[in-house]
Structure 1
Amino acid sequence: MLKKIATDAKSVKKDVISRRKFMRGTAIAGVAAGTFAAPHIATAATVLKVQAAWGGGIFLENAKSYVDRVNKMAGGGLKIDLLSVNSVVKTSQMQDAVHRGVLDGAHYVPAYWYSKSPAASLFGTGPCFGWSAQEMLGWIHYGGGMDLFNELMGSLGLNLVSFFNSPMPAQPLG
């Protein structure tokens, strides 16, 4: 009887070892198969159409610089196409074009749509005697200006997200 128990124990031990070898081999094969079988699927970059309101000058340079930085940081996953002034819509229609999805973005000054609301001029150039462009930007980001801008967008029924980065300096005499 003892001999039979010893023989059974050896066969159980043999089964355990072979089961472990089998599991280890399966795990290695699974990892190897996953590595070799997984194809690299190329994804197309997301392309955003952004129209500028500028035909040239420092504001167009600002827009180009922004687009270049974003495109570089995105590493090919996102591409912003900067479109020239009036290439899709007139400058005065850019806000509505973004709202309707005709454009993905616009690089312009909110004061350009003064005809929709006189309050838009508060977010363009500062008053001719008063704030500098930097102070204007400070008010927008830290003084409640962005909340007022978003309230204005809501009152006009527009679904837009704005990024204020470089307001125009005050323009004396208009």
Structure 2
Amino acid sequence: MQWTHSPLIRIYKTIGNNNEETTTLETLKSSLSRTLVPYYPLAGRLHWIHGGRLELHCNAKGTKVMEAYSIEKLDELGDFAPTEAIEDLVPKVDYGSPIEDWPLLLVQVTRFSCDGLYVVTTTCHTMGDGWSAANFFNAWAKLAREDELEEYEIPFHDHTILRSPEPLTPPCFL
């Protein structure tokens, strides 16, 4: 698994007259905070252990959330091809710093002059695959809508149940 971060871009165009800038950003931040309770590993940090392996410390160091404003309109960005202007909208990780300092989840919310919203998350690929990322973002969206998570939507992190019984018994073939 790569230990770099993968960005995911979401674009929301305004519908009607939206003067709820503060409310939207506060909703995103507070719902993210609530989502990180069951998804607490994303608020931790990785560090290297013997054998060149990574280990996760669930130390609640948190995520990084950034807010930005652009005087441009969403339509002026064209087809969102990878340009310098688009890359400025993606949160950056300082890979020159120790891995223990890297947030595992970074969020940048950019509001455009047309009230469009550009939400970019950058997640450490080591933390999961596309399926687990989709579950996290669905949970975040649900909490942002002020719904509650169902029990089946809460991740189960106790991997000790996967251990074999001690001692292992060899297979018997008759």
Same fold by TM-score, threshold 0.5 exceeded? no
Whose relative contact order is higher, 1 or 2, with alpha carbons under 8 Å and at least 6 apart?
Answer: 2
- TM-score, normalised on structure 2? 0.24
The structure that is strand-richer by fraction is 2
Max Rg structure? 1
The structure that is helix-richer by fraction is 1
- TM-score, normalised on structure 1? 0.24
